[in-house]
Amino acid sequence: AAELLDGASLATLEDMAKSAGEAAATSVSLLEVFEDDQIYKRQLVRVLVARCATEAMNQGFATAAS
């Protein structure tokens, strides 16, 4: 993973985080049968996975810099 991120720009990392969120949102299995609930929950998964990926990358960079 380090080789994958080595030299990557911030914009590239943000795109990777958004892609991870999108992949999670499209592959998650939802139990609710109401379409509005599914739309909301997929968006929630999309945003939270992207935020977690971004935070993990930021922590990785902070650790590497110190």
Q: What is the distance between the alpha carbons of residues 19 and 15, in angstroms, rounded to a whole number?
A: 6
Cβ–Cβ under 8 Å, residues 45 and 59: no
Which pLDDT value is given to residue 44?
Answer: 94
Q: What is the distance between the alpha carbons of residues 44 and 42, in angstroms, rounded to a whole number?
A: 5
Which pLDDT value is given to residue 7?
Answer: 60
Which pLDDT value is given to residue 1?
Answer: 43
pTM value?
0.68
> pLDDT of the chain along its 66 residues, tens only?
445 555 667 778 888 888 888 888 988 888 867 888 888 999 999 999 999 988 888 887 667 666
Which pLDDT value is given to residue 31?
Answer: 80
Q: What is the distance between the alpha carbons of residues 16 and 19, in angstroms, rounded to a whole number?
A: 5
